């Protein structure tokens, strides 16, 4: 009986020990499981955060890249950043040339510019015109020459000369394989600079080239000639002592003597128009001729010959 009791006690001891040991293993497994689960969740979260961060960085870089390389169309804005007009296309320029190409889709910009200036009379329009240091050196530079052609477009709709400013901007331009760059002009509206306007009144305009339409019966009035008349009248009004020389030029068709006479005839027809229609005294104007001696384009094409048949206006 005594031996049985001892064995029973030993059995109980080992039973409790076994239960304790089992319980310890269970708690350890559960703790390990929880730690493992937490580790997996933490790792997954870190991986997700890392992916999201990488995607954000990639998105920012892509945005900045697009922002830098995006070619915008012709846009007119104020100094406060208000957009007056915006087009998907812009004025194209040809490398090493003053020629500009205005798409038909944006030609309305001249009327929108005029309307804005009429509604804001104390405003001037700045034509920001691009050119590249890699292009041929010319004087004035190609930025000015291209901007002046945009200025002529604005003058043609009646925008006053004193409200237009040409700003050449030199910049590295990437011309395409055909030699064109399609984002060359921007328009900025700024408060009218009264000091600049006053200076303009006493400063003589630069030499101007006009292309009247000539016929056997005399000169035909075109917009180019009307613009010249308006300019000459203003210059004479602002500068009573000014003198004007009209120099006729021709192509090389015919002989040198005949072309000299023809160039002089061109100049005299323009002189007659300014005197008859503008009331300009004939003592202020003189006509001369260079004939075929100073072409600005090759005479082997019709387009070149047309450019050479011109009248140059010089103020002094």
Cα(231)–Cα(52) distance, rounded to whole angstroms?
64
pLDDT (0 to 100) of residue 67: 43
Does this model's pTM top 0.75?
no
Question: Domain 75-200 is of which CATH architecture?
Answer: 2-Layer Sandwich (3.30)
Equal CATH topology for 75-200 and 204-315: yes
Cα(87)–Cα(106) distance, rounded to whole angstroms?
6
pLDDT (0 to 100) of residue 296: 92
CA distances from 9 to 23, 57, 152, 279 (A): 21, 71, 118, 139
What is the side-by-side order of every strand in the sheet holding 100-101? 100-101, 92-94, 180-181
> From first to last of its 316 residues, what are the pLDDT tens digits of the chain?
555 666 666 566 666 655 655 565 555 555 555 445 554 555 555 555 555 555 545 544 554 444 443 446 999 999 999 999 999 999 999 999 999 999 999 999 999 999 999 999 999 999 999 999 999 988 889 999 999 999 999 999 999 988 999 999 999 999 999 999 999 999 999 999 999 888 877 778 888 899 988 777 677 888 888 889 988 998 888 888 889 999 999 999 999 999 999 999 999 999 999 999 988 888 899 999 999 999 999 999 999 999 999 999 999 8
Domain assignments of the chain as residue spans, ordered by start: 75-200, 204-315
Cα(308)–Cα(250) distance, rounded to whole angstroms?
6
Q: Tell me which CATH code domain 204-315 carries.
A: 3.30.1330.60
Contact 169, 130 (CB under 8 A): yes
The alpha carbon of residue 235 and the mean position of all alpha carbons in its chain are separated, in whole angstroms, by 30
């Amino acid at each position: 009986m005594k031996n049985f009791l001892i064995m029973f006690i030993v059995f109980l001891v080992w039973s409790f020990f076994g239960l304790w040991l089992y319980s310890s293993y269970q708690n350890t497994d559960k703790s390990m499981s929880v730690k493992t689960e937490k580790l997996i969740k933490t790792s997954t979260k870190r991986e997700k955060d890392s992916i999201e961060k990488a995607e954000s960085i990639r998105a920012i870089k892509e945005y900045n890249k697009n922002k830098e390389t995006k070619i915008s169309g012709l846009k007119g804005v104020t100094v406060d950043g208000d957009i007056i007009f915006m087009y998907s296309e812009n004025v194209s320029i040809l490398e090493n040339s003053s020629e500009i190409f205005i798409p038909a889709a944006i030609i309305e910009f001249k009327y929108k510019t005029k309307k804005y200036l009429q509604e804001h009379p104390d405003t001037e329009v700045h034509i920001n015109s691009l050119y590249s240091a890699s292009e041929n050196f010319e004087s004035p530079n190609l930025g000015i020459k291209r901007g002046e052609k945009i200025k002529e477009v604005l003058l043609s709709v009646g925008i006053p000369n004193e409200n237009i400013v040409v700003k050449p901007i030199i910049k590295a331009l990437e011309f395409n394989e055909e030699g064109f760059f399609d984002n060359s002009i921007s328009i900025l509206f700024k408060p009218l600079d009264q000091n600049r306007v006053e200076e303009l009144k006493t400063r003589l305009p630069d030499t101007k080239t006009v292309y009247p339409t000539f016929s056997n019966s005399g000169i035909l009035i075109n917009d180019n000639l009307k613009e010249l008349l308006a300019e000459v009248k203003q210059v004479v009004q602002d500068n009573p002592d000014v003198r004007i020389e009209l120099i006729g030029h021709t192509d090389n068709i015919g002989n040198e003597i005949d072309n000299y006479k023809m160039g002089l005839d061109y100049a005299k027809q323009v002189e007659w128009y300014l005197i008859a229609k503008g009331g300009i005294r004939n003592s202020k104007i003189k006509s001369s001729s260079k004939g075929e001696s100073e072409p600005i384009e090759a005479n082997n094409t019709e387009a070149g010959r047309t450019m050479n048949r011109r009248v140059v206006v010089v103020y002094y």
